[in-house]
Structure formats: structure tokens, C-alpha cells
Structure 1
Amino acid sequence: MSKSNERNYGVYDLCVIGAGMCGVPAARHAINYARHATTKPYKVCVIGPEETQMIPDRDIWSAHYDEGRITRMSDPNWIWSLLARRSIQRYRKLEQDTGINFYSEVGSLTVGAEYIPVVQKTANDTGISVATLDNSQLQSKFPFLNFGDEDIAIYEAQNAGHISPRKLVRAQLIAALELGCDVIREIVNQVTEDNLLNGAPVMKVKTDSGRTIHARKVLIAVGCFTEFRKLLPVEPNLIFSPQTVTLVQITPEDAHRIEKMPSIIYRGKGAANWPGDALKNKDGAVGYYLLPPIQYEDGKYYIKMGHWDELLKGFLTTAKEVQEWFLGNGDENLGKQLEQAIINVVKDIKILGVHIDRCVTTRTPTRRPYIDLISPNLGVLLGGNGYAAKSSDELGRLAAHMMVDGCWKEQQLAWDHFKLQTK
């Protein structure tokens, strides 16, 4: 992707700051929607840097530099379930339109005990097709996985599996470019309201290079980096959760042997034959998410596992802490626990190598994203809470309609669910 394909528009109708999983679909949907909602051409740009290596003089990254995120319709919360459903239903068309395949429908397995009825109820209430597996059915269907004797599961065979966030963003970018969106490969450091344009205020966007871009409206969709630039006149109530993930490299033979492995979410007591206390919280419960073997861009196959917030030692509060986290090695002890947990769960795999990675999850007190207007010309799409990747297309669509309309017209989801809270 070139540094910029910006045309000489002068003033954009909408500038989306954040060229990631939520920002790019917001730009794409804004152009599409405005064609029907307005009578004039709608000029949109999206601003964000290219993917880059973790280097000391860089302090802005993105969550989509990876090949594996779980996707599923079932969820304990009906709002996240609906957001996922709407997004997943558009995956295949986006793949067909762009020629980029980012979705693997290998199914999703939610395993545990007390946690399962909550997921089952939401699925029943929202009409999602799932199967409930008792312990013997679970072990029979997935003999290459090791669970506890009390574990039961929700199995979602269709409309679930995993997506490549990196490829998803590429597909969204191609679709947005086809519609005429400008992609500007810079980092924004300030957003302010500028002088009136034909009697209306205009927003001024300044980049690290000293460039100035004008737009009638601006949408901020940059995750945990919102507070580390002068982007908003208020301070959103956001919690920055430092996540450690472990990827174990396995042989191609093992990857093909367990190719029917679904994505897994586990909340339970673990199995009696799991050695040690890997991933156990203070109450002795175990929680993790696990991706099946995925071939990464280096051609190798990896199984990836991550943890829940209960195992964190603390949260990040400053730009320096976030930068140091991204540039560091993660929580090495937690990374080793994740490695052991993978060995506990996936039977008889030969591990060729181990890589501990890290990212930051942006959480909100409501556990729902913020999709809101701070002023008629400035909006936010923030707080993925660890669930946004699979639902990012719908989150972008909701934010796009809000920005184009200047209000909330969505009927099934009340705006109150997504209102911004400030510190």
C-alpha cells in the first residue's frame, strides 16, 4: 500500500483516524451509506501508519499485526453476540469482493461447567444454532484434546472459527479504496476545531510530519493510543490491559492431524492430569482462549493461546508503560504457563519452537465499545474489550452511520449501550 493516495480535495466530509480493524470499515461503510443518505459526493479519508516492526523510536502500533482471532456468534452477552452475527454474515462477500480470504470456518468450542448455561441461554434467546456436548460427547468428538471429567461444551459448527486480522484489514482497505476512500499513511498527533468553512466549523488534523488535513467531521478509532496524542477534548474512561500470548510452532504433520480442531474458549476447573497450576486464578479456576493450528506468513504452523484478565499483575496507565510493554518480552512467567497449558490441552504435539508475544486490550467499564459523539463534528469508536476483531465490520458500520447522520438511528441497539464515559 502506498504512503498516500490522497487527492486534492481540500476538505474531507469525514476523516477516520485509525487504519485498523474498526477504523477502515468505518470509512468504507461511511462512503457506502452516504451515497444513499445524501445527495452529494461524500469524501472520506482514513489515516494510520503501515504495519511496522517493534522499534525503539516508534510508539504507535495496532492490534491487527497477527494471523489469528477467534470468531463466533455465541456469547454470554447478547449485544456482542448480535454485533458478531452481523459482521460474520458479511465476511464471505467481503472476501469475494476483494479476493482476500481471511475467514476459516473451523467452528468454535466453548468449554467449562457453570459458564456453559449462560452461553446456551444467549444462543437460545437469539436463535443461534449450537450443540451442547456432554463430557463423553466432547471427548469422543475431539479425541486429540484433553479436558476435565466435569467439562461440557457449546459447539458452534457454522458461522464460527477464526479470522486473520491482518488479512481482514487488507480486505477492508481494498474495498474502501475501490469506493474512493483516501488512505493516508501517517500518525496523527492533534485534532482541533478550526475556523468556520462557509458558516460551519471544520476540524483540523495535524500529523507527526507537520501535515494538516481538514475535515467536516472526525472519527477517532485508535484504541489504547487515544490518550497519548491530543485527539480529544475529554479523557475517555479506558483501561489498558497488558496481554501475553504464547505461540508454539508445531510440525505440518501435527497441523494436518488436528485440522478439525475448532477455536476454543475455556472457563472451568481444568483436568486432573494437567500438571502444575498453569493459568489458575486465586479461586483455582482456569481460563484461556486457544486458536487451532494456523499457517503464518513465514509458512510455519502455530497454535496460539492467551489468558483472561484475572491473571494480570496490573494495568498500564501511561504512554511510556504502553511503549515499554510493546517493546518488551511480555510476562515471561505467564508465557511459560501458557506454553504448559497448550501441552496440557492439545495431545501429542511436537513443539519445534516457542514465541511469547504481547499486545494491549482496551477495555471500558461497561464492557461494551464506545460509539458516541463528543460534538456534532467529533465522534469516537473505542474500547474493543477483547471482542472487537470478530465484530469490527459491524462496529465500523454503526460508527459510520452515526457520523454521516449526526445522530443514532439504529433500531435494534439503543445508543445508551455505547455511550462514552469519561474519567
Structure 2
Amino acid sequence: MSDPTRYDLAVIGAGPLGAATARHAAESGASVLVVGPEEPADPAGHEGTWAGYYDQGRLCHVLEVPLMTSLLAMRSRRRFPELIARTGIDFLTPTHSVTVLPAETGERSLWFDRDVLARNAADLGVPVDALDEQELAQAYPGLRFEPGHVALREPDAFILNPRALVAAELSAATAAGATIVRDEVVARDRVGDDVRLTGAGGGTWTAARAVLATGAATNATGLLDRRLATATYGATVVLAEVAGPDAVSMPTMMMMKVRGGEMVFGGIVMAPVEYPDGRWYLKISGSSLLDFPLEGREEIAAWVRTGGHPGDLEMARVLLAELLPDLEVLSLRTRPCLVCATPSDLPYLDWADESTVVLVEGERGAMAADEIGRLAAGLALTGRWSDTIPHAVFAAEWSA
């Protein structure tokens, strides 16, 4: 159904970035529309795009590179208690964030450079512990780490539930007067000085400005006049079912596991969280993260229908048998996910044209989404950048 109302801001996409943008814009007094589909019920028969936030657990911590990622996350994190209290939706579970890596990492990955990660935490005033091989084993006696590996530990980290974060952001947005339409925008046009959006269901809406916050599917939407310089990948999450939250005592780990000079695993192993089916799962991801580049809606939909890369199941089985030899794993299954990457490893938060701001973050976007959305709302509504971080840091790059 068409809506005759003209909004100050229309947000395309109702994931973490879109929901946060809508929330901050509405709370500033603007009239706000946010348009985005519900999560599909069945990936096996899915058509169209997909959102990476369809998940229960993301690590929320500062042991990240580049430093800007951690800074944006810290700004978001400071507002989380108030958002939880106001909406009654708790999306945080305390955890230790432990980055495990070989004592000698060489030139393998900046993401696993212990000195860089420690300096970033120090720059943000967040205490972290450096654990040698013996201290790591003593701290987590139920885990078996590869010989020669050490760690950095952030004791006051969280597992963030991205589905619940989105629910909280949208709850706060609607409380401030925002309108949510559950549809997918299929066209964006200019009508005079306004932006007109058309939904797959036939509805149309107009706004003075728009924010395009469609994540890894941005280029696939067809809503931009040119392609962003981003790469979209079909990622795989392996869910290892356990008996419950007390089945294992463990931190959440970013892990680089090296044996005989070769990396045998690089990714995340998350402490158990409860999923919508009422079961508890450890989440493992990383080995095939960037192995499946995708182009367009059809390739994204086809990837989702696969349910993820089945080869990751054996990787997870071997990893868990070595890491948690006493753990009873009740089942293993894959889930599809989407991630995207920018050349700078930083978000894009920039003008696509004179009326629309484009907003993209990669796989770590959930923990920083509230701050990125705040910045986007300010830029779109006022037309100017007013933050102490230079706007050039978030400049979009466009494909030739």
C-alpha cells in the first residue's frame, strides 16, 4: 500500500545499521521510515538477498584491527545499557574474549598481531591480559591448546545477539515515532528534490533524504547508479549442539591455530548461546570465510539455499575434538551467512548522490552498528559531518 506521508528520512534496510540509523534519526525529532523484510522462515527455499545478522552471537570486544573498528564499537557499547534498560531487550551476554595465536606469528595476519591488538586496547583504555602458554592452559583447564600458542584476554567482553540488537533498536525507533514497513525496496528514484522508494509489494514512499543500509547485499539491490568497491562472500557458520549453557566452561575465542608452520584454523569459536529452537550451540566459523565470492541476487539466493559449505563440518569436528576433548557434541550443522569487505577494512558512510547516504560495514558491523547508525543519521539529516573523526575515513570507493 502506498503511504502519502513525506518523511524526513527513509532508511532502506532494517538490519543492525539500518535499525540504528532509524533509531537515532527518530530520537532527534525527524519523521523516519524504515523499510526492510522480515527474516525468511526457511533458507532452503529462499529467493533474493539475505542478511548476515540472522544469528544469535557476535563477539563484542576491542581486540580488533583496525583501531577504528574498536573505537566505533566502544562508542556503541557505552550506550548499550541505556538501550537495554529502555526497551527491556537484553542482547548482551558476558564472556572473556581470548585471542589465541602462536607465540611466533611471523607475517601471517594483522588480525592476529598480538602487539597491535594490545596497543589498540591500551589506546582505548581497556585492560587486557597477556597469557603465555602455561598461563593460558591454567586459565582454561578444560581446553587443549596447540603447543607454542599464547593469548590476549579481554575479561569484560560480550557476546552480542544481533537479532536482539535489531529488535531493541527498532523498538526504540518506533517508540520515538518511526514507521516500520516490512517489505523490500526494489526501486529508488528522484521526484523533484525528494527520494521515492518502491517496494516489492507495490507500495511507494517519499522522503527528503534516504540512507541505503543493505550490508553485503548492497550491490545486489540494484538501488545504486554505480557499484561500490566491495566484495560479498558466502560464509558458513557451523553450529555444534551441546546439552546446555553449563556443558562447557570456555571463553569466546578468536583463534589462529598453526601446526608445523602451516595455519590449520583461523576464525572464531564462540561459547554456547541459545538459539531460537531452544537448543544451545557453540558457533565455529572462519575456515572458508572468503572462499565463495558472490555476485547478484541469484548467486546470493543460491548460496543461502545450500545451507553453507558442508566441508566446514569436518573442520569443526576435528577442531572441537582437539580443543575440547571431553565435550559431548550432540549434533553439527551448517548455517549460511553473508559477509562483505571494503578495501580499507573500514565502513563506508558516504553520499551516493545528493539525496542518499550509503552505509556498509563488513562482518564486524553488529558491535559497532549503533555508533555507525548515529553518524549516518546525523549526516543524512543535516547534510554535514560534525564528528571529531574525519569524514574522509569513511569515504566510499566505487568500482571503475
TM-score, normalised on structure 2?
0.92
Which residue, 28, 32, 55 being the options, matches 2:23? Answer: 28
Residue 46 of structure 1 is matched in structure 2 by 34
Which residue of structure 1 aligns with residue 283 of structure 2? 304
Task: Give the residue type in structure 2 aligned to 1:172.
Answer: E
1:14 Cα deviation after fit: 0.2
Mapped partners of 1:363, 1:150: distance in 2: 31
Alignment of 1:292-371 (within 5 A): 292-307=271-286, 312-371=290-349
The match for 1:18 among 3, 13, 21 is 13
Counting matched residue pairs gives 389
Q: Equivalent residue for 1:150?
A: 148
Residue 256 (str. 1) matches residue 262 (str. 2): no
Question: What secondary structure, in the 3-state scheme, does the structure 2 residue paired with 1:244 have?
Answer: strand
Counterpart of 1:305 in structure 2: which amino acid?
Answer: I
- For residue 279 of structure 1, what is the aligned residue in structure 2? none
Residue number among 384, 397, 403 corresponding to 2:374 in the alignment:
397
Range moving further from structure 2, 341-350 or 354-363: 341-350
Deviation for aligned residue 1:376: 2.8
| Deviation string, structure 1 residues 323-364 (Cα, Å, up to 9, x no partner) | 100111322112321232122222311111111111110111
Secondary structure in 2 aligned to 1:337? helix
1:264-322 alpha-carbon deviations (Å, 9 max, x no partner):
1012415x8xxxxxxxxx9435312011011222221111100156x644411232211
1:98-134 deviation digits (Å, cap 9, x = unpaired): 1111101112111113321221121123322111111
AA aligned to 2:5 is G
Q: Distance in 2 between matches of 1:396 and 1:339?
A: 38
Bigger RCO of structures 1 and 2 (CA < 8 A, at least 6 apart): 2
Which of 162, 165, 186 is matched with 1:165 structurally? 162
1:408 — aligned with what? 385
Instruction: Give the aligned residue type for 1:304.
Output: K
Give CA-to-partner distance per residue, 1:53-89, whole Å, 9 cap, x none: 2253631322222111111022232100101111111
Alpha carbons 2:253, 2:270 under 8 Å: kept: yes
SS of the aligned residue for 1:177 comes to helix
After superposition, give the CA deviation of every residue in 1:145-182 in whole Å (9 maximum; x if it has no partner): 12122111111111x12011111111111111100000
User: Match of 1:186?
Assistant: 183
1:246 maps to: 238
**For 2:254, what is the secondary structure of its paired residue?**
strand
Is 1:88 paired with 2:77? yes
Which whole-Å CA distance do the structure 1 matches of 2:46 and 2:150 have between them?
A: 48
For residue 401 of structure 1, report the CA deviation from its aligned partner: 1.0
> Where do 1:77-116 residues align within 5 Å?
77-113=66-102, 114=105, 115-116=113-114
> CA RMSD for the aligned pairs?
1.9
The verdict on how the C-alpha distance between 1:229 and 1:106 changes in structure 2, with shifts beyond 3 A counting, is closer
Once the two structures are TM-superposed, the CA of residue 226 in structure 1 deviates from its matched residue by 1.9
Q: CA deviation at 1:232?
A: 1.3
Q: Which residue of 2 aligns with 1:204?
A: 196
Q: Give the secondary-structure state (helix, strand or coil) at the position aligned to 1:106.
A: strand
Partner of 1:420: 396
Q: Equivalent residue for 1:278? A: none
Encode CA deviations 1:372-416: one digit per residue, 9 max, x unaligned: 01223111111x2211111111111111111112121111x2111
For the Cα contact (< 8 Å) 1:130–1:157, is it kept in 2? yes
Aligned partner of 2:213: which letter?
Answer: A
Look up the equivalent residue of 1:391 and give its one-letter code: A
Cα contact 1:111–1:265 (8 A) shared by 2: yes
Q: Which letter maps to 1:214? A: T
1:85 & 1:182 partners in 2: Cα distance? Answer: 28
How many angstroms does 1:93 deviate by? 1.3
Aligned to 1:135: 133
Within 1, Cα distance between the matches of 2:395 and 2:317?
38
Structure 2's unaligned 5+ residue stretches are: 106-112
- Mapped to 1, the partners of 2:61 and 2:228 lie a distance apart of 28
Change (3 A) 1:339 1:389: farther
Task: Tell me which moved more, 109-118 or 169-178.
Answer: 109-118
Query: Normalised by the size of structure 1, how large is the TM-score?
Result: 0.88
- Give 2:263's match in structure 1, choosing from 271, 284, 306: 284
Match in the other structure for 1:66: 55
